[in-house]
Amino acid sequence: MLCKSPVLHAAEDFISIAEIGAIVGRADDAAWLAGHGVTTRHNFTGWSCELPVAAESLVAAVAARIYAVVGLRNELGQTLQLRRSAPGEHHPRHFDTYALGDRVLVATAMLWLGAALTTGWPFSIVARVRRSAPHASALY
C-alpha cells in the first residue's frame, strides 16, 4: 500500500458538460487528431491518446485547472492523456515511475468524465506532473 489516506479532491462544476463534449469531440475527430500529429492506441487497457495542450485553448484551460487543484506546476505539461475504457477493458494496478531527463513523475491526477455523457463509454483525463525532484512514484 502506497498511502492509507490519499489526497482526493471533489470539485463541483470543475468542468462543464459543454467542455467535456468539446474535448471528447476532439478525441473522436480523426482529422483533427491526425492534423496535430496525435496517435491513438487501443489495447486491453482501452483507447487512449495524448491531446496537445498548445493545440487547443480548452485543453490548456482544463490542464491549468487540474494543476491549480493539485498545487503543482508541471514542467513537462505538453499533453493531457485522454482515456476511454469499454466493458472488459481495464488498466491493471501499477506504479507510475519514470524520468524524462532530470524530471521525474511526482503526481498523477485523474479527472473522471464518465457520468457527464450519455453516449459512448466513459472518458478520463490523466494529467501527469513531472518536475525536477528526487525520485517519486504514484500508484493508481
Which residue range(s) make up the domain with 68?
17-139
By the 10 Å C-beta count (0-12 exposed, 13-18 middle, 19+ buried), 83 is classed as: buried
Structural domain total, the chain: 1
The confidence score (pLDDT) of residue 34 equals: 95
Whether 69 is covered by a domain: the verdict is yes
Helix (H, G, I), strand (E, B), or coil: what is residue 63?
helix
Whether 10 is covered by a domain: the verdict is no
Report the DSSP pairing between strands 123-132 and 103-112: antiparallel
The confidence score (pLDDT) of residue 45 equals: 87
What global pTM score does this model have? 0.71
Whether 49 is covered by a domain: the verdict is yes
Divide the 140 residues of the chain into consecutive groups of 10 and give the mean pLDDT of each group.
64 80 87 94 90 88 84 77 83 75 74 58 58 45
The confidence score (pLDDT) of residue 126 equals: 62
Whether 7 is covered by a domain: the verdict is no
